[in-house]
Amino acid sequence: MLRNDQLAEWDRENFFHASTHLAQHARGETPSRIITGGSGVYIEDRDGKRLLDAFAGLYCVNAGYGQSEITDAIADQARELAYYHAYAGHGTEASITLAKMVLDRAPSHMSKVYFGLSGSDANETNIKLVWYYNNILNRPEKKKIISRWRGYHGSGLMTGSLTGLDLFHKKFDLPLNQVIHTEAPYYFRRADRTMSEAAFTAHCAAELEALIEREGADTIAAFIGEPVLGTGGIVPPPAGYWDAIQTVLRKHDILLIVDEVITGFGRLGTMFASDHYGLQPDLMTIAKGLTSAYAPLSGSIVSDKMWKVLEKGTDEYGPIGHGWTYSAHPIGAAAGVANLKLIDALGLVANAKNVGAYLLDAMRDALGTHPNVGDIRGSGLLCAVELVEDREKHLLFDSSRKVNALIVAEMQSNGVIARAMPQADIVGFAPPFCLSEDEADVVVKATQNAIRTVLG
C-alpha cells in the first residue's frame, strides 16, 4: 500500500479530535498516532509498531481485534441491506434478533430495548423516558436526576451534565439545572481516613438521603450510576454500597438507571454488573461491548414497570416522539448479533473473570509494596493502579506533575497501552476479554518497569 506522508499534516490541519488538547495538537506538540490494524489484543500503527492494547480502545473492543465472525457479519449485512429505519414498526432481522438476544441476557424484569448509536445518546434517551414516564403518571414536578461526582455518562448536554468530572462542565455552562450530584463511592479517597468500609457505605447512603430530603423527593425522578465508576477512576464500590443505595431509592420512589456501558456483556465476569451487584434497574444503558465497537450501537433497556407506563402514554398521546435516523441501524445490529454469539462461543465472559482475577493478583504481587502505589483495585477485567507521593501519609501527587501520563507514555514506548485516567493519578486497564495470562504478565511487567523508570 502507498504510504501517504501527508497524513500527519492533514490531521493537524483538518481533523477536530475528541478529548484532545486542540492547540497543542494543531501546533504538532502532541503525537498523532495513526492506527492501521489489529488482531486479538494487539493493534498496529502505520510505522509498524505493535502495541498490546490493555484498554481495548476505550474499554470497548471486548471480543478483541480482527474477529472475522463479526467483520463478515457486517459485510454480509451491508451487501444484503445496508439500511432501513426503525420508525413506525419497521425492523430488520438483525435488529429484532439482537433485541431478543439482549433481553435473553438481561435481568428478567427488563422488557424492551431501544437501540441508539452511542452511550451518550442512550443516556439522553433514558432521561427523556424518565421525564415522559413521570408526566404520564401525572407527576410533572418529579424531574431532577441525581448522578455522582466522578460518574461518567457521556458528553452531550444532558449526559455531560450527568458526568461528574470538571473537565466536561467547565466553560460549557454545564451541568444543566435538572442534574444534581452526590458523593462518589470512592473509599480510597474518603475524607475521613478513620472510616471503615461499612461506615463509608452508610455515609454515602446517608449523603444521598440528605440530598433527597433537601431537594424534596417529589422533585427527584431518577438516580443514575455506573456499577463500578469507570472514567472517574475505575473504582469498585465499597461493600454493601448498592444495597444501601437501592434501599434509599425505593423508600423515596426514585427510579434507578444503571449505566452498563462499560460493564455490560461481561467485563466484570458476569453478563451484566447488575447480576454481580444484585441491582434492580428501571433502565439500563448499554453500548461499547454490545458490538465490541465493530460498529456504533447502543441501547436503553426498559423494565416492565416503565414499559407499561410508556404504552399507556402512547395510547393517550400518540406515537412516542423519540427516534433517530440510525436507531437500530442494521449494520450495527448485525455486528451485535455476531459479537454476542462469539462471546458465548469463546467463553469470553468466563475468561474475563478468570484472567481478570489473575491480572489483579499479579499487579498486586508486582506493585503492592511500591512506596508510590497507594491502591490497586479492580473487578473482572477492570483494574486500576493509583499513585501517591507518600503512601504512609496518604499524600497525593501535585496534579501538575501528571505522573500517570508520564507512566502511560513510558508504557506505550515499551509496547503496552494503558490509560491515564483524567481526574487523579490513576493508571487504568480494561483489556479485551480474550487476554491470556501470558499477555496479562506482559501488561504487569510493563507497568512495573514504567513506574520504576518514572518514580524510581
Residues that bind ligand PLP (CB under 6 A): 58, 118-120, 123, 152-154, 226, 230-231, 259, 261-262, 287
Whose CB is nearest to ligand PLP? 119
Where would I find the beta strands (DSSP E) of 209-356? 220-225, 255-259, 283-286, 298-303
Return the number of the residue (118 or 134) whose C-beta is nearest ligand PLP.
118
Asked if residue 248 lies in contact with residue 210, where contact means CB atoms within 8 angstroms, the answer is: no
Residue 56 Cβ, how far from ligand PLP at the closest point, in Å? 12
d(CA 199, CA 238): 10
d(CA 83, CA 74): 12
Return the number of the residue (144 or 153) whose C-beta is nearest ligand PLP.
153
Residue 439 Cβ, how far from ligand PLP at the closest point, in Å? 23
Return the number of the residue (117 or 367) whose C-beta is nearest ligand PLP.
117
Return the number of the residue (430 or 434) whose C-beta is nearest ligand PLP.
430
Short-list 110, 123, 109, 106, CA closest to 224: 123
Return the number of the residue (156 or 356) whose C-beta is nearest ligand PLP.
156
Residue 227 Cβ, how far from ligand PLP at the closest point, in Å? 9
d(CA 233, CA 422): 8
| Segment holding 43, helix H or strand E | strand 42-45
Tell me the torsion sign for CA atoms 129, 291, 447, 43.
negative
SS3 377: strand
Return the number of the residue (370 or 419) whose C-beta is nearest ligand PLP.
419
Could you identify the residue written with the cell 474499554? 59
Return the number of the residue (374 or 428) whose C-beta is nearest ligand PLP.
428
d(CA 282, CA 109): 9
Tell me the torsion sign for CA atoms 348, 350, 352, 354.
negative
Residue 154 Cβ, how far from ligand PLP at the closest point, in Å? 4
SS3 65: strand
Residue 215 Cβ, how far from ligand PLP at the closest point, in Å? 24
Residue 115 Cβ, how far from ligand PLP at the closest point, in Å? 13
Q: Measure CA of the first residue to CA of the last residue in the chain; give whole Å.
A: 43
Asked if residue 232 lies in contact with residue 266, where contact means CB atoms within 8 angstroms, the answer is: no
Residue 1 Cβ, how far from ligand PLP at the closest point, in Å? 30
